[in-house]
Amino acid sequence: MSNEKRPTSFTASIRYDHRLYRQDVVGSMAHARMLAKQGIITDKDAELIGMGLNSIRQEIEEGSFPWKEDLEDLHMNIEARLFEKIGDVAGKLHTGRSRNDQVATDMRLYCKEAIGTTQEGLKALQAVLFTTAEANQGVVIPGYTHLQRAQPVLFSHHLLAYFHMLQRDRERFQDCLYRTDVLPLGSGALAGVPYPLDREFVANELGFREISKNSMDAVADRDFLVEYHADAAACMMHLSRLGEELVLWSSQEFGFIRLDDDYTTGSSIMPQKRNPDFAELARGKTGRVYGHLMGILTILKGLPLTYNRDLQEDKEGFFDTVDTILSTLGVFSGMISTLTVNTERAREAALDSNILATDLADYLVSKGESFRTAHGIVANLVRYADSNGKGLAELGLEEYKNLSPRFDEDIYAINADSSIASRDVPGGTNQRRVEEALKEARQILDRPLGVR
C-alpha cells in the first residue's frame, strides 16, 4: 500500500468548494490590506497580492483557471496560482491565518449572501400570493379540515395563510443572518495568532457585524449552517404544503384552478392528462432538504474541538439546499402568477349545504341554546339528512323543528355568503377583514424586516 499513489480524489474538495472562489478572494484581499495596515507586510506587497488575486478571480470567471485536483481544495489552488503569478510574495498572504479560519470565513460570507438571496425569493413569492389574492377577492372556496369540506372561506384568505407562513420564514432567515454575521478570521488554526492583527478592520472591510469571541469556537462552529438548513427545511415544508394544495385544486375531482401549461406535463400514454409535476417535485425536493439538515447535524454531533476534516462535508449538502430552495421559490412564483381560478366550480363546492353545519349550530346559539347542545342537535340533523339522502338545505322546516323548536324560517337565510360575512373577527375570512389583511400584507412587503 505504501507504494501506491495517495487517493487524493477521496480527500479533494475542489469539485464543489470552487463555488467559494469569490468569498475566498475577497477575504484574502481584505486580510492582505490589514497586514499592510499593521506593518506586518509592506504596502507594495499587499498591492501586488491584490493584483494577483484580482487576476485569479478574472481567470476563474472566464473559465481559464487551471484547477488541479492534486492540490485538493480551493485555497491551495488559488495560493499555488498566486505563486505562479507574483512569485514568493504570495507566501506572505498566509501570515496570521490558517485554512481553518479561512474556510470558516468563506462559508460565512457565502451563507450571508445565500440568506439575502433566499429572502429576496421569499418576498417575491409573497408578492405573487398577495397579487393573486387581491385579484381574486370575493372568490369563495370550501375550507377543509381532515381533507373534508369544513366551512366556506374566501380564496384570498386561504392564499394569505401562505403569505404569513413565508413571512415567518423570512424572519427566521433574518435571525440566522444575525448569528452568521460574525468574522472568524484571525482565529488561526485554533488558538489565535502571534501577530498584531486588526480583526475589527477586516470585519469592517468584509461587512461583518462583529468578530468572534473565542478562537476555538470560531474555527469549529457550523451552527449557522445548521440554522440555514433548519430554516430552509421549514420553508420547504410550507412550499410542499402549498404544492399539495395546488395538486388537489388542479385535479378533476376539485377543479378549483388550472395551472399554466408551462407548469404541467403530459402523460406518455394518456393524452388527456395534465400532470402537476412542478408542484409534485417541490414535495419531493423537500425530502432532500430535510436530509441535508440531518446530514449536517450528524457531521457535527461527534466532533471534538476544534477543526476536524469531517467539516469538509458541510459544503455539498449546503450548496444543494441553497440551490433547491431558490429554484423552488422561483418555480412557485411563476406557477401561482400564471394559474387561473375556476370561480364557479369553487363556489359550487362551497355551496354544499352540509358545509354550513357549524353555522346552524351558531344559529341555535343565537336563539339561546348552549353551543355544546346545539352541536349535538346539528350532528343529529346531519345524520338524519344523510339517512334520507338529502342535504341540509333540502330539509323542510318541520324536519328542522323535530330536532329543535328553536329553528324557524330564517334558517334558510344561512348560506356560504352569510357564513363568510359572520366571521367578522380579526384574522377571520369576512370580506372586510380580508381587505384589511391585504392592506397589512402590502405594508409587510413595503417595510424592512425587523420593523413591526
Of 24, 21, 27, whose CA–CA distance to 186 is shortest?
27
Q: Give CA–CA dist 431/137, Å, rounded.
A: 8
Reduced to 3 states (helix: H, G, I; strand: E, B; else coil), residue 182 is: strand
Reduced to 3 states (helix: H, G, I; strand: E, B; else coil), residue 308 is: coil
> Which set of grid coordinates corresponds to residue 270?
394518456
Q: Count of residues for the chain?
A: 452
Residue 293 phi, psi dihedral angles, 5° rounding: -60, -45
Choice among 64, 157, 187, 267 that is catalytic: 267
Q: Give CA–CA dist 99/78, Å, rounded.
A: 12
Helix axes 315-337, 223-249, angle to 10 degrees: 30
Is 422 among the residues known to form the active site? Answer: no
> Which set of grid coordinates corresponds to residue 82?
498566486
Is 267 among the residues known to form the active site? Answer: yes
Choice among 2, 64, 146, 387 that is catalytic: 146
Q: Long-range CB contacts (< 8 A, 24+ apart) of 323-328?
A: 324/232, 324/236, 324/285, 324/288, 324/289, 325/118, 325/121, 325/232, 325/235, 325/236, 325/289, 326/117, 326/118, 326/121, 328/236, 328/239, 328/282, 328/285
> Which set of grid coordinates corresponds to residue 18?
470552487
Greatest C-alpha distance within the chain: 100
Just list the catalytic residues.
Answer: 146, 267
